[in-house]
Structures are given as structure tokens and as C-alpha cells.
Amino acid sequence: MGKASRRLVVHKGDEKLTEVPIIKIDRVMLFGNIQVTSQAIAFLLDSGIDLCYLSSNGRFRGRLTPAESKNILLRIAQYERHLDNDFQLAVSKDIVKAKIQNGKSLIKVYQKNYPDIDFSEILATLDRSLDNVILQTQVSSLLGIEGSATAAYFRAFGQMFRKDDMSFTQRTKRPPKDPVNALLSFGYTLISNEILSFLFAVGLDPHIGFLHSLYFGRPSLALDMTEEFRHPVVDRFTLYLVNNGIISRMDFEDKGEDGFFLTQPALKRYFQHYEERMGKASEGNSQNYRNLIREQAYKLARSIQTGEPYRPYTMEG
């Protein structure tokens, strides 16, 4: 990949595959052994565009980002809020409640189309989890509730797949042990990297979170924000791909202990539909999902600066 005027140009050998004007580029994700000229890298960074490096199978390797925002006052406020136990607990509660509510909404949306499936017991479990969140006084206890609620949600999620060769029984990762888990892991990687980019752009430190504790090299704040988008964006998109036959079992390679990975042709198909999905308006909102994520990053920044409650995204259902 190189630069020509204000365009990126992609070559394979002597063949030019494509060229794209910089105005149409939000981010660049490189899968596998892609060579990028130093001129192209400088052009992207000067234009405020990230380069994200992943293996050919979608494993995140790292990223190049433009210079950090100069909003040092926002980052100081973020560090202070992280040490404010009341603020940390309040934000964490809102995130967990939003995630559980989004799981309920996705189940209800599916049930409207397939009323013969009884999800009442699982929905009752999620309601009890929501009630339990309110009573908690420690962030660590919220993680336990979130884990139990997610396990209940995935029991319903597994019943939503209508293709015999693409079943789902439980969430597995590192490695994903079946094709559906591979799709979920890949989708979560993409969405968390989009969130990471927006947090950098706003001026926040993605490594200082509230629900997720600090850990060396972990983008805890990006993981916090990812929770509110897992079910309405990635899980729903995964159902769309599988139930509409866009991605099937034949589109995966089984690499044994390393798990399942999309083939190269399937990966291109995945990205085509992913971009279409991210460009669509979200339920009950005139904005598309990508702009909605950007708006949530700004909302989180305002909450950190003012101390006002943060309102995570919740889908209608």
C-alpha cells in the first residue's frame, strides 16, 4: 500500500488493485503480511487515521495512531474519576445494566418473529440480575452479576441460530472452539478497535477504565464501552450472517488448538456486510452505528468532565 497525491493505492505485484481518496477513509486495518510505504504511513497519521495490524486470521497485533489529543485536562479528570469510588461504581452499574438490558432486547426482538420459542425463564433471570445490580456496593461484585447474566443470555442466543451446521452452545474464546464463537470473537475485536480509535480521538486514555480493572497493556476503558455494543451490534450481526446463509460452516478453517478462522474469500464477504451494517441507522436512532459509537465516546468524556451520569447505548426491544 502506497500513496499517490491524496489517495492510497494498493498493489499486488505490478497489478493495481484499488485506489481510494483519503476523504473516504476512516481507518485502515491490515490483515496478514501487508507492506506499507513510509510515505503512506506518514500520510495516514497526518490525516488523523489509525492503522490497525492483525494477523491473516484476525488476531490483533497492534496499531499505529496519530499523536494523542492535547486535551490533557480531560485525561487529568479521567484519572481523578478513576480514583473516585462513587463515580466508578455508578458508571460501572450503568454499563452492566445497559448490557443486560440489551441482551433482553435482542431476545425479545427475536421472540417477536419466532413466538414458539419460550424465553420467559431466561428473561426472568435477566430481570433478577438487573434488580441485583442496583444493590451492589463494589465493582468486583458487578462483574459476577454480569458474568451470570451473560451466561443466561447466551443460553437464549444459542437457540436463535437456524442453520444446522452453525450451532452455538456456549461462549468460548482463546481459541474460539466453533465457527459461531469465531464470528463473535472477530466481531468483538473489530468493534473494540473502533471504540479505541474514538476514545483516542476524544482525548481519553483508553487504558484507564471503570468496570474493567487496570491491567498492563489492557485498554480497560475501551472494553467498558464495548459491553454496551456487544449484543446489539456484534451478536445481532452474527445472527444475520448465519441465518441468512451469508457465512456457513464451509467458510471456516479448523486449525485445531488455534481454533476456527474465516477463509480469505469469506473474510472479504464479512467486511462488505460489516461496513454495510455499521453504516445503517440503529434502532430508534437516526445515526448509524459508527456515528453512534463516536457520540457515546463524547458522552463519556462529558460525564468524566462534569461528573454527570453516563448513559450507555440501549437498543429498543
pTM (2 d.p.)? 0.84
Going by pLDDT thresholds of 50, 70 and 90, the confidence category of residue 194 is confident
**H helices within the chain, ranges in order?**
38-46, 72-82, 85-113, 120-135, 139-157, 179-202, 220-227, 236-243, 264-278, 289-306
Q: C-alpha dihedral over 274, 193, 98, 182, to 10 degrees?
A: 60
Instruction: Copy the grid coordinates of residue 245.
Output: 446463509
Share of residues in the chain with pLDDT > 90 (%): 50
Containing 64, the helix (H) or strand (E) segment is: strand 60-64
Q: What is the mean pLDDT of the chain?
A: 88
Out of 1.20.120.920, 1.10.3720.10, 1.10.10.10, 3.40.120.10, which CATH number does the structure's domain 72-306 have? 1.20.120.920
pLDDT of residue 141: 92
53: DSSP letter: E
Domain 2-64 adopts which CATH fold? Answer: Ribosomal Protein L15; Chain: K; domain 2 (3.100.10)
Range 6-31 average pLDDT:
86
Low-confidence winner among 22-26, 113-117, 212-216, 275-279 (lowest mean pLDDT): 212-216
Q: What is the pLDDT of residue 68?
A: 61
The ranges assigned to domains in the chain are: 2-64, 72-306
Is the pLDDT at 183 greater than 70? The verdict is yes
The string of pLDDT tens digits covering residues 286-305 is 678 888 998 999 999 999 99
